[in-house]
Amino acid sequence: MMRLIVQKYGGTSVGSPERIQEVAKRIKRWRDKGNQVVVVVSAMSGETNRLIDLINAIHPTGTAREKDVVLSTGEQVTIGLLSLALEKIDCPARSYTGSQANIRTDNAFSKARINSIDEGKMRADLEAGYILVVAGFQGVDNEGNITTLGRGGSDTTAVALAVALKADECQIYTDVDGVYTTDPRVVSTASHIPKMGLEEMLEMASQGSKVLQIRAVEFAYKYNMPIRVLSSFDEGDEGKSTLVTGEEKIMEEVLVRGVAFNRDEAQLTIEGVPDQPGVAYKILGAIAKANIEIDMIVQNVSSAGLTDFTFTVHRNDYDQAKKILCETGKSLGATSCRGDKKIAKISIVGGGMRSHAGVASKMFQALAKEGINIHMISTSEIKVSVVIDEKYLELAVRTLHEAFGLNTV
Amino acid sequence: MMRLIVQKYGGTSVGSPERIQEVAKRIKRWRDKGNQVVVVVSAMSGETNRLIDLINAIHPTGTAREKDVVLSTGEQVTIGLLSLALEKIDCPARSYTGSQANIRTDNAFSKARINSIDEGKMRADLEAGYILVVAGFQGVDNEGNITTLGRGGSDTTAVALAVALKADECQIYTDVDGVYTTDPRVVSTASHIPKMGLEEMLEMASQGSKVLQIRAVEFAYKYNMPIRVLSSFDEGDEGKSTLVTGEEKIMEEVLVRGVAFNRDEAQLTIEGVPDQPGVAYKILGAIAKANIEIDMIVQNVSSAGLTDFTFTVHRNDYDQAKKILCETGKSLGATSCRGDKKIAKISIVGGGMRSHAGVASKMFQALAKEGINIHMISTSEIKVSVVIDEKYLELAVRTLHEAFGLNTV
């Protein structure tokens, strides 16, 4: 039976006319095996930055609608060029802008969300034997305005198209050949993961793994769409890859799937607040009102009816969040208000955790043995995250990677 | 009463962020005088060539549909940037791609013709106080495919929008401050023309004047839309300009308006063809069938029932046309078939000619006095064109410019 495959190629993969022609050859090989192929592409590497520079030279804080008009041209150039490259090697292809593909979004310019895709026309072109080349990262709102999905939105376009077209698989081509148990730049013995669960990938992505965009994984998780991560630098098509699927059974065999981390967060603490109903809302509500996202939150009840809060925000929001927190603290009569930017968050993720006790304590023990102090702890069904001093990051990742037997043999 | 003005700025005028900001200031001055303004822009200078280079690196002879997808991004970048520049100086603006402006064309990709413009949405935005910034050179066909109008199509977009919106004037900003009696690079005493007829402009453009695109002038002539040619390099807004209108009366005061010329043509001759009914069709039909455009045609009946034909084609088509002509000639028993690429066409144009005899003979006399031989002659109501050896071009232009009293005093 004929399979329908959606493939996504990032900016580096289509970074020059030569690389675009390489991608075309790869697509042809998939088609020649009897697959229908829909391709989603990003702007050529460097192009989006060039456009941002032009915008910044004129009006960096201008209307997002007009910025999206400019930014969406990057992908539009790539779809035309790739279609020409495919035609050149006798693969009839048709390009689609986000608007032509009817990728309907809300009107949150620069960070729009996909509401629906009307796939009728694309389906007809597929049946007519065309390869479809769709611009990633962009869509159109109900008034016909061009919208963009935000950086990395091309992954999301690919998964959304795969869902709308009921594709058999969504292939994300990147500069690495799949997902590893941790970042190989930190732990050289990191192991390649051939197959894992979407829920695990969701935790890995939200805890710092940068292989897949978290929004794309959320979309795939919601609609149970299998994703395969492959390298566009592999010569053939039978190279290593990671298949991320919703099939739970396979996943539970493994206790800990990988170690994710990030250095993007900062920690804030307020101490000696009277422990009354509504105090958490007073403190965190003020931060949220400023559109600052809060990640981890820990509250301790201390003696004498006073309590402490510690939470993390993105490092870029640290200064603003601290100012708001200290003002709130003052009005509540807090004894102190302080923060720390030099922290790191490390998480162990694995579908198997939910049926095994003792994973968290094994993690704490391994870190303690190396003298690494833990500031905060947060757990979910399939992950345990800790916040530590940034300077211990590499040591902690290596330690946990070994403690859970993730090294390549 | 509020006036509606359509302005068009070419690639050099919007060639950098700084120049885009200059254009924005100029637009603001027109708006502040109480005008509604619709702006049509080209791609930033150099951008279209950059995109063509990318296309040529991949598949120069590929599908025009996909080339248009790539090429149309140039203008899309400019409309976003100019809208941002206007917003920055407190002029609310909204950009429109050709598709968003509903500029409907046929599906002749790369040289599409405008069929209609649905101006409803633009009208509403104008009433709401927005300046509209529309991408020139592009449209959309009935299936939603992006089309381009061919190089220089931005002038046509501007005139077509002016017609659709019933504008009071269509202003074309270029790098010169209007139309001159001839090219000032050839005749330094060429005079600036403050006002002229659309019909005269039509002949000037079709005979070689490059100030305005001929398709744009045709459009303006058909719908009687006044065009003003201005320089975007003038500091103020009261500089020199040429107003091209349909008001015949003013125009007839002047005998000869200007001297136009071009070196783009080549001449082909076939001699000694039996003069039978249908022979012209046999000779010229074969050329036309190969999609080669024929400009001037001259036929002489010679003695003994034999006739000669001479005609001109674009120099780029010369080799192909000559091959076809000589093959046809052989089958018709022609005595010779030859051609000449080193020719030039010079025309005198003027609305006043139609009521004055002797203009042509004055022209021939002036050329004869300088020893310039005439190969071909062609006349219309308001122009006389001659073909001469290319080496005499500058001399002939200067001679005619002076003979008809066009020099500045």
What chain B residue is nearest to A80 in terms of C-alpha separation?
A: B66
- For B29-34, what is the mean pLDDT? 94
Q: pLDDT at position B252, please? A: 53
A63 vs B contacts (CB less than 8 Å): 83-84, 87
Q: For residue A304, what pLDDT is reported?
A: 79
Q: How many CB atoms lie within 10 A of CB A235?
A: 9
Residue A248's pLDDT is what?
Answer: 57
A23-40 residue pLDDT tens? 999 999 999 999 999 999
The pLDDT score that the predictor gives to residue B175 is: 83
B-side interface with A, Cβ within 8 Å?
A: 17, 20-21, 51, 54-55, 57-59, 62-63, 65-70, 72-73, 76-77, 79-81, 83-85, 87-88, 93-95, 97, 99-100, 144-146
Enclosing H/E stretch for B244: strand B241-245
Higher pLDDT, A281 or A268: A268
Residue type, B324: I
Q: Distance between CA B309 and CA A305 in Å, rounded?
A: 109
Give pLDDT, residue A237: 65
**SS in 3 state form for A164-221?**
HCCCCEEEEEECCCCEECCCCCCCCCCCEECEEEHHHHHHHHHCCCCCCCHHHHHHHH
- Per CATH, the number for A3-174 is 3.40.1160.10
Which pLDDT belongs to residue A176? 86
**Residue from B23, B41, B66, B137 to probe the interface with A (highest A Cβ count within 10 Å):** B66
Mean pLDDT for the stretch of residues B376-387: 89
Q: What pLDDT band is residue A210 in, cutting at 50, 70 and 90?
A: confident
Sheet holding A258-262, edge to edge: A258-262, A343-349, A383-389, A376-380
Tokens of A169: 């698989």
Q: What is the mean pLDDT of residues B119-132?
A: 96
Scanning B318-392, the segments in alpha helix (DSSP H) are 318-332, 359-369
Between CA A209 and CA A203 the distance in angstroms is: 9
Containing B219, the helix (H) or strand (E) segment is helix B214-223
Q: What element of type H or E holds B288?
A: helix B279-289
Contact at CB, A62 and B20, closer than 8 angstroms = no
For residue A66, give the nearest of B17, B54, B84 by CB distance.
B84
**Six token digits for residue A255:** 């206790």
Residue numbers in A near B76 (CB within 8 A): 69-70, 72-73, 76
The predicted pLDDT at position A352 comes to 79
Question: Across the interface, do A87 and B17 touch by the CB < 8 Å criterion?
Answer: no
SS3 A128: coil
Cα separation, B168 vs A240, in Å, equals: 65
Chain-wide mean pLDDT for chain A? 91
Q: Comparing A286-300, B28-42, B108-122, B241-255, which segment has the lowest mean pLDDT?
A: B241-255
Residue A151 has which token pair?
A: 């950086």
ipTM for the predicted complex? 0.84
A76 contacts B69? CB cut-off 8 A: yes
Whole-angstrom Cα distance, residue B133 to residue A66? 11
A253, pLDDT greater than 70: no
Which chain B residues touch A145 with a CB distance below 8 Å? Answer: 100
Find chain B residues with C-beta within 8 A of A62's C-beta.
Answer: 83-84, 87-88
The 10s digit of each residue's pLDDT in A58-82 is 999 999 999 999 999 999 999 999 9
User: Two tokens at A125?
Assistant: 């072109």
Q: Which residues of A touch B80 (CB under 8 A)?
A: 55, 66-70
Residue range A133-162: average pLDDT? 94
Of A59, A66, A144, the CB nearest to B95: A66
Mean pLDDT score, A337-364: 88
Confidence of residue A379 (pLDDT cuts 50, 70, 90): confident
CB-based contact B97 A51, cutoff 8 Å: no
Minimal Cβ distance to B55: which of A70, A81, A144: A81
Quote the tokens at residue B393: 């071009």
Q: Which of B55, B80, B145 sits opposite A69 (nearest CB)?
A: B80
User: CA of B122 to nearest chain A CA: how many angstroms apart?
Assistant: 13
Residues of chain A found within 8 Å of residue B144, distances taken between Cβ atoms: 100
Backbone angles phi, psi at A121, to 5 degrees: -65, -40
If one compares B21 and B205, the residue with the highest pLDDT of the two is B21
- Average of pLDDT values for A3-15? 95
Q: What is the pLDDT of residue A2?
A: 85
Cβ <8 Å between A55 and B20: no
| Residue the block writes with tokens 């989006």 | A48
Q: Are A157 and A39 in contact (CB under 8 A)?
A: no
- Which residues of chain A have a CB within 8 Å of the CB of B65? 94-95
CB-CB: which of A17, A73, A145 is closest to B76?
A: A73
| Listed residue (A183, A213, A201, A180) closest to A248, CA to CA | A201
Q: Where are chain A's structural domains?
A: 3-174
Range of weakest confidence among A217-221, B14-18, B34-38? A217-221
pLDDT score of A409 = 61
Quickly list H helices, A33-71.
47-58, 64-71
Measured between CA atoms, the residue of chain B closest to residue A19 is B58
* Residues B83, A66: C-beta atoms closer than 8 Å: yes
Contact A76 B77 (CB under 8 A): no
pLDDT at B356 over 80: no
Q: Which of B141, B134, B136 is nearest to B119 (CA)?
A: B134
- Smallest CA-to-CA distance from B305 within B336, B275, B335 is with B275
> Mind giving me the DSSP string for B360-381?
HHHHHHHHHHTTPPP-EEEEET
pLDDT at residue B397 in the model: 96
Least confident residue range of A97-106, A349-358, B68-77, B373-382: A349-358
Closest B-chain CA to A21: B58
Instruction: State how far the Cα of B377 lies from the Cα of A206, in Å rounded to an integer.
Output: 78
Neighbours of B369 (CB within 10 A): 10
Least confident of A245-254, B141-150, B272-281, B381-390: A245-254
Which of A54, A131, A134 to mutate to test binding with chain B, by most B CBs within 10 Å of its CB? A54
Maximum CA pair distance of chain B? 78
Q: Are A70 and B77 within 8 A, CB to CB? A: yes
Q: Are A213 and A152 in contact (CB under 8 A)?
A: yes
Taking any CB pair shorter than 8 Å as contact, residues of chain A touching chain B are: 17, 20-21, 51, 54-55, 57-59, 62-63, 65-70, 72-73, 76-77, 79-81, 83-85, 87-88, 93-95, 97, 99-100, 144-146
Nearest CB to A58 within list B76, B84, B93: B84
The first and second tokens of residue A183, run together, are 């970042």
At CA A357, angle to CA A354 and CA A362, rounded to 5? 115
CA A24 to chain CA centroid, Å, is 26
Give the type of residue at A17.
Answer: P
Whether the Cβ atoms of residue A97 and residue A79 lie closer than 8 Å to each other: yes
Under the banding of pLDDT at 50, 70 and 90, the label for residue B409 is low
Q: What is the CATH number of domain B4-174?
A: 3.40.1160.10
Nearest to A76 by CA among B377, B234, B164, B74: B74
- In degrees, rounded to 5, the angle at the alpha carbon of residue A129 between the alpha carbons of residues A124 and A132 is 70
Smallest CA-to-CA distance from A341 within A309, A310, A372, A318 is with A318
Q: What is the pTM of this model?
A: 0.86
CB within 8 Å of B366: residues ≥ 6 apart: B399, B400, B403
Distance from CA of A57 to the nearest CA of B (A): 6
Outline where DSSP puts E strands in B55-184: 93-96, 103-105, 114-117, 131-135, 138-140, 146-148, 169-174, 179-180
Full DSSP string of A279-314: HHHHHHHHHHHTT--EEEEEEEE-STTEEEEEEEEE
- Alpha-carbon span B71 to A179, nearest angstrom: 37
Contact assessment for residue A23 and residue A83, using Cβ atoms and an 8 Å cutoff: no
Length, in residues, of chain B: 409
C-beta atoms of B66 and A84 within 8 A: yes
Search chain A and give the residue with CA nearest B73: A73
Q: Which is higher by pLDDT, B56 or A235?
A: B56
pLDDT of residue A386: 93
Please name the residue of chain A whose CA is at the shortest distance from the CA of residue B85: A58
Distance CA A45, CA A174 (A): 12
For the stretch B291-317, pLDDT in tens is 888 888 888 776 688 888 899 999 999
Task: Say how far apart CA A152 and CA A154 lie, in whole Å.
Answer: 5
